[in-house]
Amino acid sequence: MAGYNTILLAIDLSDEADQVASKAVSLAKADNAQLHIIHVIEPLSFAYGGDIPMDFSRIQEELQQQAEDQLNTFCEKHSIAANKQHIVIGRPETEIHALAEDLEADVIVLGSHGRHGLALLLGSTANGVLHGANCDVLAVRVGHKE
């Protein structure tokens, strides 16, 4: 089996993201592959009844700035270059697939909560990425106790 050339690490910046990043970094080192990282910010879409106009653009900008700061710190810790960091706004599965295709990624690495039952094996984002990907997907089990 040939190694991977381009790896896309998809993270949510949760406490468990370090576990997922460690796997991706190890895989990149083993294959001497490029490692890109993506964090997707879901757009604010609060539904309010009535005719009250709401502008969430400032809140969205603050969320994006906070995510950029957190991602920079995270990437410094894991030695991921600034030009390999991607923050986008949209649906996680859609944006992860789009970037994977743009980068011609060989594998997407993401976290998955190992819950009970086959239907709950993958979270909804991990499941969506798995079923729509044109490359390998490595789901790293996080949040479990041995």
Please write the tens of the pLDDT for every residue from 21-43. 999 999 999 999 999 999 999 88
Residue 37 is assigned to a structural domain of this protein: yes
State residue 103's pLDDT score. Answer: 97
CA torsion sign for 49, 67, 124, 101 is positive
pLDDT in tens, 83-134: 999 999 999 999 999 999 999 999 999 988 654 443 444 467 788 888 889 9
Alpha carbon distance 94, 42 (integer Å): 11
Residue 10 is assigned to a structural domain of this protein: yes
Instruction: Report the DSSP pairing between strands 107-113 and 6-10.
Output: parallel
State residue 116's pLDDT score. Answer: 41
Residue 1 is assigned to a structural domain of this protein: no
Residue 28 is assigned to a structural domain of this protein: yes
Give the count of beta carbons closer than 10 Å to the beta carbon of residue 62: 10
Question: Residue 18 is part of a domain; what is its CATH number?
Answer: 3.40.50.620
